A and B are shown apart, each in its own frame.
Chain A
Amino acid sequence: MEPETIAKIIDTLKAERIDLVVTLPEEPTSPLTETIRSDPYFTSVTVASESNGISLCAGASLGGRRCIFVTGIAGLLVGTWSLAQMGVLYGIPVLIMASYRGDIGDRSGVSGAQLFMFQQLAEPMLNTLRIPYRVIKKNDDIEREIRDSHFACREYGTPLVLLLTGEVLW
């Protein structure tokens, strides 16, 4: 993830008054989460499992705190139990940003079988959980997509996922 991409994401989060960032770091987004961690504007929480990160964000979001959960596809798979509870059952808005591991173009060194597993499961899993998502490939789209998705997830009343790939991630 390039510095200008990170800066654009952080500027947009601040413009949206999102000041609570919850994450379980993974390789492609770690430069972003490390930068956020060092920025005093944000309250940064590192969780020990994605499921409790999503539950934490749901509690914060329902309480009116603007927050985002930063993870990857593997994290979404681990967090499906909480996503089902907070999303399908309660309709609590939780904005999630996830690296789209396994998308075409992922040359990050993960084994091909793992990449293919992520590619095969990511979007069907989100569709199964009835979670809206957007795939962001271009840096020029970051600001608009974050703003629109943050608004939509609160208005719809649902978790919503931004999948980062293409020039945004690799």
Chain B
Amino acid sequence: MVKRFDCLKLLASWLDEHALTVTSRGGNAREWAYLRPQGANFHSLNMGTCMSFAVGLALAFPKRKVIAIDSDGSLLLDTSSLVTLADVNPPNLLALVFDNQAYANMGATATARAADLAKMAQGAGVKKASTITSTEDFAAVVKPALAASELGFFVLKSESGRAQVKVDSRLIHGRPMLEHFISALLRHPDYQGKSSAGKD
């Protein structure tokens, strides 16, 4: 088992300012916002929407690395996103799924039970998909995957519980988070979404 906070801390140290990240709700968003307060981070996507949103972002920024930080419960709500992920196969996307095997916000209610999320991704057609169970393996596998031009999908078997970090909730929710994200996008020279300013 890995500690999510330890893995995210490593990940934050590996990313440059241009990497785009997307998280699902809960501990993923809170811990990631604490560890990477700057940069283009879209936090707290609700259940079932994180992975596909990240695929879209990867299509918009083909020259940037996009990292999806999803969770088992969120992914399981829309497993069809695995088929889309494999079909689009964005080479600039790294998908991380923290799998604590529970709907953690509600306690110990189990999520996937006997299901193997990495094998589900493989079955959907994702070529590079595997399960990671230690922080050492996380460093050995994910750091090189960040540098590769190939879709990577990694399920991180993680301990339950959250790191006790203080984060301004406006950084991880709703419109204030969105404004922060767009401000970061506007600093990217390859951002195509400048306002049309009423012209076209």
Contacts and interface: CB of A to CB of B under 8 A. Distances in A.
A64 B192 contact: yes
Contact of A154 (B174, B182, B196): B196
A43 B88 CA distance: 10
Interface string A116-144: 00000000000000000000000000000
Given A56-B53, A155-B196, A46 B87 contact: yes
B166 interface: no
A104 interface: no
B49 A63 contact: no
B59 interface: yes
B57 A63 contact: yes
B: contact size bracket: 35 or more
A64 B193 contact: yes
Interface string B55-76: 1111111000000000000000
Interface in B30-58: 42, 45-46, 48-49, 51-58
Contacts of B51: 52
Interface string A70-114: 000000000001100110011100000000000000000000000
Interface residues of A, number: 33
A63 B192 contact: yes
A59 B52 contact: yes
A35 interface: no
Interface of A: 20, 43, 45-49, 51-53, 55-67, 81-82, 85-86, 89-91, 151, 154-155
